[in-house]
Amino acid sequence: MQKVGTVLVNLMQDLSRLSTNGEAHVRVNNHLCEPEQFEALFGHFTRGTILERINLHVEELDTRVECSCGYREQLVDSKKGYTKCPECGKFAEVKNNAYELVSPDPSRAGMRKSIKF
């Protein structure tokens, strides 16, 4: 799992490239920190930058198990790598992402053209 500072820097880099219209929605892994803490850190570290005007909404992102058979479940124990699927017995991937940018969607959002929101 990445450290909070690394996740914060990566998110700031993502948001500085994308057109946000002043709003952003992100999910942060619940093993990393609380959503309120992440919002406060984001507000502190973006002061004086083009990102300080972004209204950031933070939710928890659960660690989950996903299998090729279609099985998906929230994982309480933060394991890394793979675990056995209870449905089919194959190895299922543990999705332990540090954060997920929900909005603006990186696949659909345009690149930032100016520093104004």
27-57 as b/e, with b when 16 or more CB fall inside 10 Å? bbbeebbebeebbebbeeebeeebbeebebe
Instruction: Note the CATH number of domain 4-103.
Output: 3.30.2320
What are the start-end ranges of the H helices in the chain? 4-17, 35-45
The domain segmentation of the chain, as residue ranges, is: 4-103
25-37 pLDDT per residue, tens: 999 988 788 999 9
48-68 pLDDT per residue, tens: 988 888 999 999 988 888 899
pLDDT of residue 117: 42
Please state the rounded mean pLDDT for residues 19-47: 89
